[in-house]
Chains A and B, each alone.
Chain A
Amino acid sequence: METFIAAAIEQAFALICAVLIVSYVEPTSRGGAIFLGIVSIAAVNVIVQGLRFILQLIRKGK
């Protein structure tokens, strides 16, 4: 359950970030907006996973 909640939070965060990025960049075509949204979600997920990995490393170090 906890894992599920954490994943949901991550994806919600990625979605919020993607919406922010798309609304800031304002692509002129619908295809561009969808494409940028998908890429943004993927990029945010990569960043979050990277941060999680770093956190785990730090915790192991302790």
Chain B
Amino acid sequence: MDDKLVRSIIRIAAALVVFAAAAFDSTPSMPQAEKRCAFINGQEICDEAFSHDGASGGDFVNPAAPVPPAPMWPSAPALNPAVPVPGAPMSESALPNHEWAVPGVGEIKAPKVAAPEAPPSGVEAPDVAVERAGPHETGAGGAAAPEVAVERAGSHETGAGWDQTLSASGSFVEPHDYPPYEFGAYGIVAFPETWTISTKQRYLWVCEAFVATLPASSSLSRPPEQQMVTVWPIDTPTLARQLSGGTTLADRIAGCKDAVEHYDLKTALIALQEAGKAKGEVFGGEGPFLLAWSPASSKGKVDALVLVADLSNVPTEDALLERFRRWRQDIESNPDLFRDGWTVDRLRVAIKDWADKWGNIFFSTGLPAEKQ
């Protein structure tokens, strides 16, 4: 072979290695630090939970410390008096004070300011100004609520940045508490079908990952409007309340069997349908799909901001755990996730799921079922 050719091949190889190394360093992937966990009072506490700073918005409660009696959702009273009763028609003034981008329009905005304190009962709060994208319309209503400015990113942006984030939480809910309007944003674990004998194990894995990664909404010290709750719909109200009342991780994980068997398919299908309309696509995989709306009141609206994570091709329990962990991290610290489009990190996750799926298929062929 010609020396020149060998030299040029080596040069190309070196250039590609340098390029790969540079791409590796510059990729803004999520931190993958090892978690150190300990059991305190029967509950697993990980150092990651305490490492959240103000920027990432995490605000986990150490169960060893005295916790103020937090209201149990779904029976929690709405802190914002403008929040309507579930099922009641939404008014403009009832929108939580968060800023989000309309899909495909501009940047995502984090909640701009801290949630206003609820006024004492019987005190009429100032008027509410609601600003929306597009034509600058400002309406003043007479609702009894603190002064709230809701601005949607679009033709005008305030540039307030991601100065406050939501805390991710999880909850089991009964059908008529859905969607939970009092929360800043909410998501749902949506399966397109109920469990069968062959798929039940996977449903249990999903539930355990859900419980293990998302702290109960009632255990967080932040008010509901500063939480992004991901719900697991339950078809029986009493069971939903019972599962939501589980205080320890062991209780909640033990409840997964019931949660899977009483999964509320009707609620999930409605959510899938509405998310499909908003995103303009059909969710055809085996699921589950993690769907999120922000604000919570935008559910069902065609132009609503919907975040979708398709876990159809996530084959293992570990991978499911990681995807739920990523869901939580992204909710709390990564507004990029709410953008449509392509990112290096998304590509990485897609390749990982693809490799896990096909790797398991190829390398488990011929093994007995229990070893697969």
Chain A residues engaging chain B, CB cutoff 8 angstroms = 2-3, 5-6, 9-10, 13, 16-17, 20, 24-36, 39, 48, 51-52, 55-56, 59
Binds A, one of B88-96, B181-189, B313-321: B313-321
Main secondary structure, interface of A, reads helix
Bound together, the chains give a CA A16 to CA B14 distance in angstroms of: 11
> Roughly how many angstroms separate A62 CA and B83 CA in the complex, as a whole number?
75
Q: Could you tell me the distance between the alpha carbons of A6 and B360 in the complex, rounded to whole angstroms?
A: 34
| B310 on the A face (CB < 8 A) | no
Cβ of A17: which chain B residues have Cβ within 8 Å of it?
16-17, 20
Identify the B interface with A (CB < 8 A). 1, 3, 5-6, 8-10, 12-13, 16-17, 20-21, 24, 27, 32, 315-316, 318-319, 322, 348, 351-352, 355-360, 362-364
Residue on A nearest B10 in the bound complex, by CB: A9
CA distance A35 to B152 in the complex (A): 45
Residues of A within 8 A of B356 (CB): 27-29, 31-32
Considering only CB atoms, which chain A residue lies closest to B361 in the complex? A31
Contact pick for B318, options A25, A29, A56, CB 8 Å: A29
For A33, what are the chain B residues with a Cβ–Cβ distance below 8 Å?
A: 355, 359
Known: A9-B13, A13-B17. 4 other contacts (CB 8 A): A20-B24, A34-B363, A35-B358, A51-B12
Min Cβ gap B29→A in Å is: 8
The 8 closest A-B pairs by CB, nearest first: A35-B359, A31-B359, A32-B359, A31-B363, A32-B356, A36-B355, A32-B355, A28-B319
Contacts of B358 in A (CB 8 A): 32, 35
Q: Which residue of A lies closest to B1 (CB)?
A: A2
> A52-B5, A55-B8 given as contacts; is B17 within 8 A of A27 (CB)?
no
The residue in A6, A29, A32, A34 that gathers the most chain B C-beta atoms within 10 A of its C-beta is A32
A31 with B9: CB separation less than 8 A: no
The CB with the most chain A CB atoms within 10 A, among B1, B9, B12, B359, is that of B359
Within 8 Å CB of A26, what residues of B? 32, 352
Once A6-B6, A52-B9 are accepted as A-B contacts, the answer to whether A27 and B352 lie under 8 Å apart by CB is yes
Most chain B beta carbons < 10 A, residue from A20, A35, A52, A59 = A35
Answer whether A29 and B316 are a contact pair too, CB < 8 Å, given A9-B13, A35-B362. yes
**B359 smallest CB distance to A (angstroms):** 3
**In the complex, are the beta carbons of B9 and A32 less than 8 A apart?**
no
B348–A55 touching, CB < 8 Å: no
- Closest residue of chain A to B350, judged by CB? A25
Q: Is the CB of B359 within 8 A of A25?
A: no
Chain A residues contacting B357 (CB-CB under 8 Å) are 32
What is the distance, in angstroms, from B16's C-beta to the closest C-beta of chain A? 7
Is A10 a contact of B17 with CB atoms below 8 Å?
no
Instruction: Please give me the residue from chain A that is nearest to B317 by CB atom.
Output: A28
Q: Is the CB of B360 within 8 A of A31?
A: yes
